[in-house]
Each structure stands twice: as C-alpha cells, then as structure tokens.
Amino acid sequence: MTTQPHITPVEDTVPKVAGELAVGENLEFQHRWWTFERIIWPIFLLVVVFDLLGGLGHGWLAKAKAATSGGALTLDYERIERANTPSTMTLHFGPAAIREGHIQVFVSNSVVQELGAQRIAPQPAVSSVGEDGISYTFPASVSPADIQIQLQPSDVGLHRFRVRIPQVAAIEARVLVLP
Amino acid sequence: MALIAASTVLRAVFGYLFLVLIVRIVGRRPGKQLTPFEFVLIFYLGGLTLTGMVGTEASITNAVCQILTVALCHYALSSLRFRSETLTRLLDGVPLILMEKQGWRPDALRGMMIKDDDVMAVAREQGIHDLSGIRMAVLETFGQINVLPVPPEQQDEDS
C-alpha cells in the first residue's frame, strides 16, 4: 500500500507589491536592520582600534611595569595576555638583589601553572620547589642583571602572581588572560 | 580535562555563531557567482575562525567533535528559523525592491551598496536593452538581483 501525500490548500501569504508581485518586502524591518548596522560598524572599528592600542593584549595598553621601592627588582610584564599565545616577563635586578654573588628569586605557583611558564633564561643554578611557588638561584656578579620567563598561559581569567627576593622585596600583580 | 573538552565545543559554537553574524552584517552583494573580492572574504574569514577554533588541539577527535558541534548548531538554527518568522528575517534579511514602475529606490540601493549599473548588468543578461524595459528589480535574500521585464503588450502600448 502506498502512502498518500498530505496536501493543504495553497494560500498566498507573501505580501504583494502594487498588488501584482509577491515579494515579501518588509521595509520596517529593513530600516531597523540598517540602524543596527550603523551602530555595529563603529563598534567593530572601536574593537580594532582598542586591539591596536593593546587593550586586548600585545600592545601599549597591555604592557606593565612594577618595581620595588629600593629598585632591587623591576618587573616588565603584560597585564593583558591572550590564551595559548607566547609572551615574555622580564625581571630586572638592581645591586640590592645580589647577595654573596647570587640572586635568589621566588615566583608563585601561578606563574608556572595559570600563566604557563615555559622556560627561564638564563637557566638557574638551583631550583627548589616550595609550598606555594618555586625559588630560583642564579650566580650574579654585576648589576643590572636580567632574567626572562617565557609565558604561554592556557587558563582564561584574572590571575594573581607574586615575585619576591627573599628578605629584600616583593611584587604582587594581576594578569588578565583573554580567550 | 573535562574543561578542555568543553572549551573546544564552546569554541566551535562561538566560531559558528560569530561567522553567521559577520557574514550577515557584511551583507548581500549582487551576482550569481562569487567575485574574487568575495572569495578573499569567505576564505579569509573561514581560515581565521579555524585558527581560533582549533587552538593547539590538532587531533582528529577534536576535529570530529567540533564538526559535529557545528552541524548541531546549524541544525538547531535551521529548526528555529523554520519556526520563527523573526529569526528568518534576522538570519536571511528580507527581499528588497531596488526599482519599480515609478523609479529607483535610492534608500535600498544606498543601503545595500548596489549601483544602478549592477541592476542594468542583470537586465542586459535577460536581453533588456534599457530601463524602460524593467518592470521591477528585486534584491533577493540570497543576494541575487531578479529583474522582471515589462510585458511585451505593455511595451507596445507605451510605444
């Protein structure tokens, strides 16, 4: 037995123009859409300009600097990062940071975990794992001395981190990681 | 790990919906075939979206899951479009009359960035020699300009 198709009467529901052609024009909707477009294009432009300025990472607005009062430690980092995108955090050490030919610096676990520290240059002579972070010891004789930490964050969100020279100075800062 | 899996699915959903929005806003252009200008737009948008959607995960599992996610999104959107007249208008737009008996519709031409030459090019394709041979020109939701010629008997009356 064959199945019969279900048929309903044909009703012309599409509005006609000049009573002759079924076009389905809706000028009211179209004018509202053009208004929406007039609003959205400037917003797109603002987003691109904001991005060029670094408001979405990798630019002038994203760059941040923090320093301890004595100048023992200065930190260059990006306050706005992008997920899975490499960046560099640079630690500048002043004379006060060098003790007995060594610089010892502590970084909180968030630098390694949330901010995704990939490698540190130069390589530390000693690394030791603590309760809430890692201590690195570098041989150093002259100041200023720089250390670079390559970051590649994977966790989106606002992350706090701490960099400290034990008994000398500490810096606490926040980084926003965008998706 | 569950978060990573969720993030790949969410990235696929976001990429799909974002592209739907952008392509809708970029608008309809006349012509039955893509121009080289539009080829660049389509491939470039697709490529850039892909980079963000895939991220660091180049596995087949990820690709399969994201393709299925996009397929489900498309099915859901098509289903909602079928049920809602408002969503149909939002996704597809509405047909627009560019020219009728009384003359051009400058608001429609300007709004869609279509020149009268574009309409005439379509008219010539249909063997219409000048504007007097056009009864109506309509920009369809899929981007094509349809030109309806003046019936021959009406042309005879006019002449």
Q: For residue B89, list chain A residues with Cβ-Cβ distance below 8 A.
A: 26, 29
Question: Based on the structure, what is the number of domains in chain B?
Answer: 2
Regarding whether A81 and A24 lie in a shared domain, the answer is: no
If pLDDT is split at 50, 70 and 90, which confidence band does B156 have?
low
> What is the Cα–Cα distance from A16 to A25, expressed in whole angstroms?
8
Regarding whether A115 and A88 lie in a shared domain, the answer is: yes
Domain of residue B141, CATH code: 3.30.240.20
Burial of B65 (0-12, 13-18, 19+ CB in 10 A): middle
Regarding whether B137 and B73 lie in a shared domain, the answer is: no
Interface of A with B in 74-113 (CB under 8 A): 83-84
If pLDDT is split at 50, 70 and 90, which confidence band does B33 have?
low
Instruction: Give how far A148 is from chain B: nearest CA, Å.
Output: 24
Residue B38 is part of which domain span?
2-92
Angle at which helix B2-26 crosses helix A27-52, to 10 degrees, equals 120
Summarised one tens digit per residue, pLDDT across range B10-31 is 989 999 999 999 988 887 665 5
Cα-Cα end-to-end distance for chain B: 77
**pTM of the full predicted structure?**
0.79
CB-based contact (8 Å) between A48 and chain B? no
Regarding whether B134 and B71 lie in a shared domain, the answer is: no
> What is the Cα–Cα distance from B139 to B146, expressed in whole angstroms?
6
Q: Is residue A57 part of a domain?
A: no
Q: Which DSSP state fits A6?
A: P
Q: State phi, psi for B156 to the nearest 5 degrees.
A: -65, -40
Mean per-residue pLDDT of chain A: 88
Residue A90 is part of which domain span?
63-178
Summarised one tens digit per residue, pLDDT across range A159-174 is 999 999 887 778 999 9
Regarding whether A85 and A148 lie in a shared domain, the answer is: yes
Question: Based on the structure, what is the number of domains in chain A?
Answer: 2
Question: Which parts of chain A register pLDDT below 70?
Answer: 1-2, 12-20
pLDDT at B2 exceeding the cut of 60: no
Regarding whether A81 and A42 lie in a shared domain, the answer is: no
Return the pLDDT at A14. 66
Cα-Cα end-to-end distance for chain A: 58
Compare CB distances from B56 to A24, A25, A84 and report the shortest one's residue: A84
The answer to whether the complex's ipTM is over 0.90 is no
If pLDDT is split at 50, 70 and 90, which confidence band does B158 have?
low
Cβ pair A83, A178 in contact under 8 A: yes
Smallest Cα–Cα separation from B140: which of A41, A21, A11, A35? A21
Both tokens of residue B56?
């660091």
